[in-house]
Amino acid sequence: MTAPRLGGYVLLAVAGVLVGGAGALVQAAWFPGGLLLALLAVAGLCYGGVKVMGARMGGGVPAGAWTVAVLLLTSTRPEGDFLFGAGLGSYAFLLGGMFIGVMCATLPLVPQPPGPPVRLGK
């Protein structure tokens, strides 16, 4: 693995953590639009990582970082503070984001057929 490729994966992991934190705040603030926006951000990051890196790991790295960040945000703190409330939106964000991350990370990469960019059979 080359240094630029490793750097790209590190940037995707950092972006996954940031999207997880921002999504945790937005999904509850502007329900249901915030939930949709947060899930679209996860999907855009994971699918964009697959396309930019040209490998499934490009979607798996931000999805894994997002999952770890969001699961750490669900735990209560010693002061009694917590970021997620017990509601349908929080569970939809957690499960929907994990589903989207897995879906993007396992998306098959279908290469274009070799040859000139014209219709086949012509």
Residues 5-32 have a mean pLDDT of: 91
Q: How confident is the model at residue 106 (pLDDT cuts 50, 70, 90)?
A: confident
* Burial per residue of 87-100, b for 16 or more beta-carbon CB atoms within 10 angstroms, e otherwise: eebbebbbebbbeb
**Rounded CA gap, 66 and 18, in Å?**
8
Summarize pLDDT for 74-83 with one digit per residue, the tens: 887 777 666 7
Residues 73-102 have a mean pLDDT of: 81
Does residue 113 lie in a domain region? no
Closest listed residue to residue 19, CA positions, set 1, 47, 51, 44: 44
Does residue 80 lie in a domain region? yes
Summarize pLDDT for 21-67 with one digit per residue, the tens: 999 888 888 788 889 999 999 999 999 999 888 888 999 999 999 99
Overall pTM surpassing 0.85 (yes/no): no
Does residue 40 lie in a domain region? yes
Does residue 42 lie in a domain region? yes
Does residue 116 lie in a domain region? no
Contact present, 34 and 93 (Cβ < 8 Å): no
For Cα atoms 53, 17, 50, give the angle at the middle one, nearest 5 degrees: 20
pLDDT of residue 112 exceeding 80, the answer is no
Counting the structural domains of the chain, the total is 1
Give me the domain span that covers residue 34: 3-107
Does residue 121 lie in a domain region? no
